[in-house]
């Protein structure tokens, strides 16, 4: 009986760990925009073309790396640029994301 109770307790604990929300640390200086992949090395953000920096990562809402062709056109995202103006990281977000604890959102340079 104790072994059964221990097994059930472990299963419940393991399940609750998987059900927790994924916390992503998006930098405070990350910009916000709607992205569309144009090809493997370029993305469009709010109508402006940007090159992806070598080693750039696009991560989805579950913090999994995705390729540009997996991004839904016009997907809301936060992103970071490198010193040369190339996109170095993209974090796909939901329109209804809970921004509790998130950094203030900045708009794409040159947009209102």
Q: How far apart are CA 18 and CA 12, in angstroms?
A: 10
pTM check: above 0.85: no
Distance separating alpha carbons of residues 63 and 48, to the nearest angstrom: 25
pLDDT digits (tens, 9 = 90+) for 15-57: 544 555 667 889 988 999 999 999 889 999 999 999 999 999 9
pLDDT of residue 104: 45
At residue 28, the 3 state secondary structure works out as coil
Q: Quote the tokens at residue 82.
A: 């490198």
Using DSSP bridges, classify how beta strands 42-45 and 48-59 pair: parallel, antiparallel or unpaired.
antiparallel
């Amino acid at each position: 009986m104790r072994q059964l109770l221990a097994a059930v307790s472990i299963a419940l604990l393991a399940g609750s760990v998987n059900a927790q929300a994924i916390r992503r640390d998006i930098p405070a200086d990350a910009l916000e925009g709607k992205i569309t992949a144009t090809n493997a090395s370029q993305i469009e953000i709010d109508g402006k073309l940007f090159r992806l920096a070598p080693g750039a990562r696009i991560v989805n809402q579950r913090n999994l790396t995705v390729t540009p062709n997996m991004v839904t056109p016009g997907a809301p995202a936060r992103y970071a640029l490198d010193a040369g103006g190339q996109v170095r990281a993209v974090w796909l977000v939901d329109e209804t994301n809970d921004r509790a604890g998130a950094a203030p959102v900045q708009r794409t340079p040159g947009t209102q």
